[in-house]
Structure 1
Amino acid sequence: MNYRIRQARKNDYMLLDEFIYEAIFIPEGMEAPPKSIINQQDIQVYVSDFGKKKDDYCLLAEVDEVVVGAAWVRIMNDYGHLDSETPSLAISVYNEYRGHGIGTALMEQLLISLKEKGYKKTSLAVQKANYAYKLYLKVGYEIVDENEEEYIMVRYF
């Protein structure tokens, strides 16, 4: 599958509401929550006023000039929060485009950009049942903490 990775522009930031919904892990056999779930504060922290903080950074994946995936970071008090120096990562690729290397490419390019910007590490939280944690391990994240449901992972540069 042919795709390209590009930096998001201001007018792309509105897409993050859709991608944060797509990023919600839904265990097999469970029903997807209503889209209004993204209005909850613990989810809005990932997207609200994106682009207004100096550490906000987003890459998009396009297939035939249609955005099919996003990976973004910001320093925020989210599930994977470590400290005020470490950006937390979120990523999502539309279901029908998964399994084609797009998520890996988004992550790898985002990690290169973060290193070039001088960050020392990035973090994320992922549910243990979510197969995506294997992708995170593949691109160099390490499990540094866990609770009953989630792994907290860090990628050092």
Structure 2
Amino acid sequence: MPSTFRIRPATQADGAFLGDMVVEAANWRQGAARPRHEVLASAEHIRYISGWMRPGDAGFVALDGNDDPIGAAWYRNFPRTDPGFGYVGTGVPELTIGVRPIWRAHGVGRALLHQLGDHARAQGFARLSLSVERGNFAMTLYRSEGFAVTQSGIGRDTMVKRLR
């Protein structure tokens, strides 16, 4: 049973772990896991970690009691010409979050969202966006943290949180 965890800022060296978390986020549905190489070979997913940590990128990593990474949340700004799933506009960073399955529903995701939101606010951002597939249990967490659906797509919704 998972116990305590701590959170630290993400560094450039966390790129591979963020890739693991993109895979966790893409494979949220039980029994429908795509292999890591397949998820990270797709342009729609690799954009969230390619060239990490570029100017404007920010994130946090959760660590268990042994200092092993168990989750991460980060954001990137995408241009209008190459938007991410949750793109809503220039100057609105899009967040990605992933938590190892055994650590889900233990407050890790919520703590990561708080840390990332506080950081984004301190950096002067007014909003954060994300994209979530319909049926993903994480939507309940996002709603409870102030994210609201602003755009509905095919099988997925874009959600935005106002930071100030």
- Counterpart pick for 1:49 among 34, 48, 51: 51
- Decide whether the 8 Å contact of 2:10 with 2:59 is kept in 1: yes
- Decide whether the 8 Å contact of 1:25 with 1:130 is kept in 2: no
1:23 partner SS: helix
- Decide whether the 8 Å contact of 2:27 with 2:34 is kept in 1: no
**Matching residue's letter, 2:36:** K
| 1:82-101 correspondence runs (5 A) | 82-101=88-107
Distance 2:159 2:26 in 1: 17
Query: TM-score with structure 2 length normalisation?
Result: 0.90
Q: Is 2:19 the partner of 1:13?
A: no
Aligned to 1:32: 33
Residues 32-64 of structure 1: CA distance to partner in whole angstroms, max 9, x if unpaired?
A: 112122111111110000112x21001000012
CA offset at residue 147 of structure 1? 2.1
**Matching residue's letter, 1:92:** G
Aligned to 1:141: 147
Distance 1:138 1:122 in 2: 15
Query: TM-score with structure 1 length normalisation?
Result: 0.94
CA offset at residue 148 of structure 1? 3.2
Distance 1:40 1:92 in 2: 17
Q: Which runs of 4+ in 1 moved over 2 A?
A: 25-28
- Counterpart pick for 1:124 among 127, 130, 136: 130
Unaligned stretches of 5+ residues in structure 2:
none
Distance 1:100 1:134 in 2: 14
Unaligned stretches of 5+ residues in structure 1:
none
Count how many residue pairs are aligned between Structure 1 and Structure 2. Answer: 155
Residues 100-123 of structure 1: CA distance to partner in whole angstroms, max 9, x if unpaired?
A: 101100001110110011001010
Structure 1 vs Structure 2 CA RMSD: 1.2
Distance 1:71 1:26 in 2: 15
